[in-house]
Structure 1
């Protein structure tokens, strides 16, 4: 009998962790696993395979009734393994979950960000933080830097499994809402302070790209949208910087871009970088914690910029985009190199981990 797998997620939309849940549902279903995706929020954007339990639609304002529904669902399903990709901030909630709902479950806790507090509540008190974890568990970190931090800060062992790209998910829709002659670089992600699109806009403003009519597109939605629009106006960049919103076919925009740029304060293992490289689009990124240093080979597939050095980010934009010889070398390297962030290179690691549970 094939294993029954639950992919537990905050949602199925607008983030790298959620995109990995989407990818895993498709990959594990193809391998014959019986997959159920449980979404805590009623946000379903990314494609998935298997059964969807949209808890965001089921729950209500009565927390006790919602809790009992959630508990009853897991009791009746009897999953073999639960892959928990959620943000886990609330200690009391996670403690109750681990002692009541998930007490006898096999769980793989998935850590998608270098900020461990997002996944281990009260992380600065390790023994208390560890009390939110079930006994029958494994932990997956999406980068080696995260794995090391989990070991150092929480004294817990973990496995590293990189995010991967599904080529089947790269939409054939190339009908972009921009002119065919448009030359641009692109930033992609939630419009939040940690993504630092304001830093990207300022670095772009200080570069020579405007003089060469190379635009900047930013795809995403979020709470910083109003501030970013104001910054664009204040810097007189209305004709050069465009906030294009969330795009379901954003991969088509990345594929056509001259480069993808990441200026985040921190990350986990940025999906947008590996998507760009898979699409043979050069990348420029701060060497933030964590992920970029494990993805980018400096001056081979892109440029790795000293962490939070905005002046160097500006210089790197000029170096990559305005030096045809250097740019063509990077593009050629991308065409010739193999892709370590493919499904086949990573799905077997997940399967091996699933079968550690009897």
Structure 2
């Protein structure tokens, strides 16, 4: 089916917003006519309903005007607009779920689960779209008529952090970074505990934390309680910490310790900039990015990055608890040869790998296959 117009409806929620903007850039670069519609995420159900009522006609007209093109709806807040698209007989709709939908439904309260399952019942199988193959298989059990699309890399080569091809460190200090929201599901408290144990074993290391969120204050207090406040720097939110002058030094690795993800784009962005990545092997996303396949073992590694078992995040603020996930992460940070992993040749291979698998062209091919 030949189409030339795309309507993208999304919320200002962190990952959903950045992914939706990346969709638009990739599609625009391939001569599609793209229009973005930002819907409200702030407030509760009443605020969302008020926004819908106030903007029903304008958004409804946008959907009607694009009914012969492609309409991309992002995440749960787009449910009302999905039904409008169905009402006007839109030719092609992609309803993109930016999370591990199976895991999400297992972990929410029963009332919310019943509501979302009821709404999902009306989403056509061919419209449902996931951001990783593993997220699709966990929810749909088979690829069937649903599909998945990886978020494209749209970074600008001219803005690469300057030491990407240069290993300019002449000492044994290890530099790690975390980039993302600061809430319990991201497991930053686990990383702080591992930094403490590294300090106890006389390892010289520093952690730079980029992001904001509800646990910022608690994490700062926790770093003081652990005695690592001089090694952990909370840098605040940055629109793009990978660009020149954001990182104070060339990092050895980017760390991710999430309990669940849909498709953690930060891993792709780090690899695109040549940075080694170390991630918990949560159910969807990391293994596909690092190993290139679904189902990698809980502790595995290659020249792109390393996976370790998902820690018990309910225990991340218990400084005396050090479980399997913590032990594996500690082993990686203490024993891996980051000087070798930061060599120019290793960084170049990572960039080439990501540029091929998660390129804008690869994204367009996935979109074309869906429509």
TM-score w.r.t. length of structure 2: 0.75
How far has the Cα of 1:260 moved from its partner?
0.2
| Counterpart residue number, 1:262 | 256
* Secondary structure of 2:213 counterpart: coil
Q: Structure 1 residues 81 and 346 mapped into 2: Cα distance closer, same or farther (>3 Å)?
A: closer
Provide, for residues 68-91 of structure 1, a one-character-per-residue CA deviation record: whole Å limited to 9, x for no partner.
Answer: 443344335546111111234xxx
RMSD over equivalenced CA pairs, Å: 3.5
* Whole-angstrom distance in 1 between the partners of 2:23 and 2:139: 23
* Whole-angstrom distance in 2 between the partners of 1:148 and 1:60: 32
Correspondence 1:310-321 to 2 at 5 A: 310-320=326-336
Q: Structure 1 residues 332 and 250 mapped into 2: Cα distance closer, same or farther (>3 Å)?
A: same
| Counterpart residue number, 1:224 | 215
CA contact (8 A) 1:98 1:132 kept: no
* Whole-angstrom distance in 1 between the partners of 2:74 and 2:204: 41
* Whole-angstrom distance in 2 between the partners of 1:301 and 1:112: 23
**Runs of 5+ consecutive residues of structure 2 not aligned to the other structure:** 43-47, 292-300, 312-324
* Secondary structure of 1:244 counterpart: strand
How many residues align structurally?
Answer: 323
| Counterpart residue number, 1:140 | 129
Which one of the candidate residues 154, 163, 174 is aligned to 1:166? 154
Correspondence 1:19-168 to 2 at 5 A: 19-41=18-40, 61=50, 64-76=53-65, 78=67, 80-88=69-77, 94=79, 97-100=81-84, 102-103=86-87, 104-105=89-90, 106-116=92-102, 128-133=118-123, 137-152=126-141, 157-168=145-156
Matched, 1:336 2:349: yes
Q: Structure 1 residues 318 and 40 mapped into 2: Cα distance closer, same or farther (>3 Å)?
A: same
Matched, 1:190 2:181: yes
* Whole-angstrom distance in 1 between the partners of 2:19 and 2:157: 12
Q: Structure 1 residues 127 and 41 mapped into 2: Cα distance closer, same or farther (>3 Å)?
A: closer
CA contact (8 A) 2:161 2:273 kept: no
How far has the Cα of 1:245 moved from its partner?
0.8
**Runs of 5+ consecutive residues of structure 1 not aligned to the other structure:** 44-58
* Secondary structure of 2:208 counterpart: strand
* Whole-angstrom distance in 2 between the partners of 1:125 and 1:41: 20
Provide, for residues 262-305 of structure 1, a one-character-per-residue CA deviation record: whole Å limited to 9, x for no partner.
Answer: 00011111111111111111111111111111122313222111
| Counterpart residue number, 1:239 | 230
Moved over 6 A (4+): 119-122, 124-127
| Counterpart residue number, 1:347 | 364
How far has the Cα of 1:171 moved from its partner?
3.2
How far has the Cα of 1:31 moved from its partner?
1.1
Provide, for residues 210-256 of structure 1, a one-character-per-residue CA deviation record: whole Å limited to 9, x for no partner.
Answer: 84432101111111111111111211222110111111231135692
* Whole-angstrom distance in 2 between the partners of 1:228 and 1:77: 45
* Whole-angstrom distance in 2 between the partners of 1:117 and 1:263: 16
| Counterpart residue number, 1:293 | 287
CA contact (8 A) 1:217 1:243 kept: yes
| Counterpart residue number, 2:14 | 14
How far has the Cα of 1:307 moved from its partner?
2.4
Q: Structure 1 residues 247 and 171 mapped into 2: Cα distance closer, same or farther (>3 Å)?
A: farther
* Secondary structure of 1:239 counterpart: coil
| Counterpart residue number, 1:282 | 276
Q: Structure 1 residues 122 and 228 mapped into 2: Cα distance closer, same or farther (>3 Å)?
A: closer
* Whole-angstrom distance in 2 between the partners of 1:66 and 1:148: 35
